[in-house]
Amino acid sequence: MMFYFFLLASIWHGYSLPPFQNGISIPVFKKSSSTELNSHKNNQYSVEINIGSPVQTFSVLLDTAESWLWVVSDDCQNCQPISRSFSPSKSNTYTSTALSTIINVLNSTAGGTIGTDWVWIWESLDVEQFFVLINENFIDIETFFADGVLGLGFSQLSSGYSNFIETLKIKGAIDRAMFSLYLSSKGDDVEDAIHSNLILGGYDLEKYSWETQLTYLNVSNTSGYWEVPLTAVHLDAGLDIEAKSVTFDIGTSMILASFLDHSTIRDAFRFYPGCAEDADNYIYCDCPFQNFTKSYPDLTFFLGAAGIEFRVSPYHYFYWNETTELCLLLIGENTGENWVLGDVFLREYYSVWNMDDSTIGLARAKLDNVPKEKSSGEGMSLTSIIMIASGAAILGIIVAAVLYKVTKNQLRKKKMPLLSVSVHSSEVLHYNDQSSSNPSLVESVNEFSSDSILNEPLVEIKPDFIVVPANLSQYAKN
């Protein structure tokens, strides 16, 4: 059932600090169908908004493939029950235009009426905004976990009516018609995670990215979507693809390939040992350990007229099931002719969406529990690794250690002992000589004191701990 949830959810269709004076940061909350699987926590992103006088509060999904703000009316006909609906009779400032429109909701449509009312998000952002009040046929939406949608696409998608971002700029609430998104890789319910975030009117590169500047792509927004040219797609080597463009969409959970290109992707993954395709064209791969990402290459997109390279790691394009030790490939099939880069891609990159300039800027995001690896394959300091793994509790235990890359074959030949350094507490450490299935607990690790260089390489990084060579055990107190 999890895989069908993903499919339905997917069809749902550089300087530090904000550079613009009126950039306002807003926390983004994720809704999920279940807290049982992490993937359920990483699909639909929403914010709280208020509409009307007196205010009525709603949770609305962010959708960059939609431009309307819409909620459901309390007198909606033939509509599925929803937690919160808007009552126009209870708002002193609501005005109906009596104009009707059709809204796409998941794999169905709903009818609504265009109206205006005061809309505010956070404390200082209140504007009179056109929005759609759904009043008929809001049905078959079991995977819809909100009260409505806040459209962040261009106004062509809303028949020329200004979207919420444009209205904020017109009214002077923000300086630029732009917004930025950080989507957490770890889950917003996880303590100490960097929470998903939306900034209206600016961005914060220092807080949400490893990089110091954005790479900008020009958007072909004649259709209203955040669409850019697609030059090539690589998986180890170049793939023979047919699509010529990609659409960025926070309202899509997965990456979606065009029909022909999806077949090419499936064919490519079937060549990897342990990967197979089921009757529904889903690709499953054998992932018997948590650092499975080393067994598969990055998926690389070459975007824009210049063909700029953007990589997506296996950590993001796979869903790993710890119980079955299987990975599900999170690349689905699009009904259209282009690719859709949804949350799987957007969790990899901090994104800045500029409606004024028709550009989207991308920079590597600060990823929770994912090591920041250099593209050249060279090593980096253990201090950096520890910081990336959110190991503030053990920061300073070991410094100035130079690490080198080791292949799996080398590890098989060299059964070196390992020392596991927990990122949760400096008191939880294990020594494993690989001859025993039960690692020995050691009390603590002293600060690095003698050797400035480790000759042994880093073995692996796991989401809950860092594994380093056992020669560090000379600094352990048993």
Instruction: Give residues with Cβ within 8 angstroms of 477, minimum separation 6.
Output: 442, 443, 444, 446
Instruction: Give the active site residue among 63, 147, 261, 298.
Output: 63
* 147 part of the active site: no
Which region holds residue 123: left if phi is over 0, alpha if psi is between -120 and 50, else beta?
A: alpha
Out of 249, 298, 343, 368, pick the active-site residue: 249
pLDDT along the chain (478 residues), means of 10: 45 37 52 26 79 94 93 86 89 96 83 95 83 85 79 93 94 91 71 77 90 94 90 88 92 92 92 88 84 84 96 91 88 91 95 96 80 32 24 24 24 34 38 42 34 36 44 37
Amino acid residing at 432: N
d(CA 189, CA 88): 34
Of residues 163, 151, 196, the one with CA closest to residue 61: 151
* N residues, the chain: 478
Q: Are strands 444-445 and 476-477 parallel, antiparallel or unpaired?
A: antiparallel
Cβ pair 363, 211 in contact under 8 A: yes
Query: Three-class SS string for the chain?
Result: CHHHHHHHHHHCCCCCCCCCCCCEEEECEEECCCCCCHHHHCCEEEEEEEECCCCEEEEEEEECCCCCEEEEEEEEECCCCCCCCECHHHCCCCEEEEEEEEEEECCEEEEEEEEEEEEEECCCEEEEEEEEEEEECCCCCCCCCCCEEEECCCHHHHCCCCCHHHHHHHCCCCCCCEEEEECCCCCCCCCCCCCCEEEECCCCHHHHECCCCCEEEECCHHHCCCEEEEEEEEECEECCCCCCEEEECCCCCCEEECHHHHHHHHHHHHCCCCEEECCCCCEEEECCCCCHHHHCCCEEEEECCCCEEEEECHHHHEEEECCCCEEEECEEECCCCCEEECHHHHCCEEEEEECCCCEEEEEEECCCCCCCCCCCCCCCEHHHHHHHCCCHHHCCCCCCCECCCCCHHHHHHCCCCEEEEECCCCCCEEEECCCCCCCEEECEECCCCCCCCCCCCCCEECCCEEEEEHHHHHHEEC
Report the chain's C-alpha Rg in angstroms.
Answer: 24
The pLDDT of residue 185 is 75
Q: Which residue has the tokens 């953007």?
A: 310
- pLDDT score for 122: 72
The β-bridge partners of 388 are: none
Structure tokens at 182: 């950080």
Of 396, 380, 285, residue with least CA distance to 330: 285
Q: Which two tokens stand for residue 3?
A: 């895989």
Report the alpha-carbon distance of residue 14 to residue 363 in Å, rounded. Answer: 9
For residues 57, 59, 65 and 67, what is the CA-based torsion angle, rounded to 10 degrees? 0
Contacts of residue 129, defined as CB under 8 A and 6 or more positions apart, other chains included, come to: 69, 116, 117, 118, 119, 164, 167
Cβ–Cβ under 8 Å, residues 310 and 301 = yes
* Domains of the chain: residue spans and CATH: 13-182 (2.40.70.10), 209-364 (2.40.70.10), 382-477 (no CATH)
